[in-house]
Amino acid sequence: MERPAWAPQGIDISVPSVSRMYDFYLGGSHNFEVDREAARKAMEFLPGLPKIMQANRAFMRRAVRHAVDVGIDQFLDIGSGIPTFGNVHEVAQAADPKAKVAYVDHDPVAVAHSQAVLEGNDGTVIAAADLRRPREILDNPQVTELLDLDRPVALLLVAVLHFIEDADDPRAAVAELREALAPGSLLVLTHASYEGIPHFKDGAAGTVGVYKNIRNPLIMRSREEIGRFFEGYEMVEPGLVPMPEWRPDVSQAPEQEDPYTFSGFAGVGRKA
């Protein structure tokens, strides 16, 4: 298998990566045939997966612009994947050139690719750390040198919590991060769910199986379970809703969206 020039050394390009699969769904170029193969297999069960990922990314952009509008200029994006086109730093820095973005991922593939993508941008860092161990993130020198955690931060947990099993207690991890953030900070979150998926469980179960096979189990949670991650936050209007319904751009009415984009939930909470 030929290694493209942009592929970081030391990365096994024969194993699928969740980050690169996500990049493929979004139409990006930071993926290999092994990733495309796994993604196509998942799409056999849920053909709307790219639409779901695009809705996820569109929500993230709206939420980042909202954060800048309410005066936040610091972003902590955990489980960031590969920050290719239209990601947090591009959106935030377009709205506020002084905005700073710390990306965090535990996947060495995502970290190595991110270093290449972010080269030369002084307002961003990529740190290798795991959401399951929040203290590692909060004490990471790259994060603490860039962000001032005594001021409000927008914490992004976008399409990441559904990769953390209940045995690893994701709610405790989210609560520990909340405690460390200053009042006025935001939690920006999306999460996969069986609720809202066209054809309900049959197709989705097949997709879950694909992720399990590449050792990245996908944990579907109910709206009620997802809502518990916002304990200690005041929900920003319109609350926890399907992604297209969170403050849609005027040009795109939710009813025009592909039915698949209503799979899963999105929300923003503010720490009082």
- Which of 23-37, 76-90, 163-177, 188-202 ranks highest by mean pLDDT? 163-177
Asked, for residue 111, whether it belongs to a domain, the answer is yes
Q: How confident is the model at residue 267 (pLDDT cuts 50, 70, 90)?
A: very high
Q: What domain count does the chain have?
A: 1
Q: Where are the beta strands (DSSP E) in 1-99?
A: 74-78
Interacting residues of 157 by C-beta distance below 8 A, sequence separation 6+ = 78, 79, 131, 174, 187, 188, 189, 190, 229
- Cβ 124 vs Cβ 100: under 8 Å: yes
Domain membership of residue 66 as a residue range: 18-236+250-271
Asked, for residue 10, whether it belongs to a domain, the answer is no
Asked, for residue 242, whether it belongs to a domain, the answer is no
CATH number at residue 96: 3.40.50.150
Asked, for residue 185, whether it belongs to a domain, the answer is yes
Report field, pTM of the whole predicted structure over 0.75: yes
Asked, for residue 9, whether it belongs to a domain, the answer is no
Q: Tell me the pLDDT tens digit for each residue of 214-243.
A: 777 889 999 999 999 999 999 999 999 999
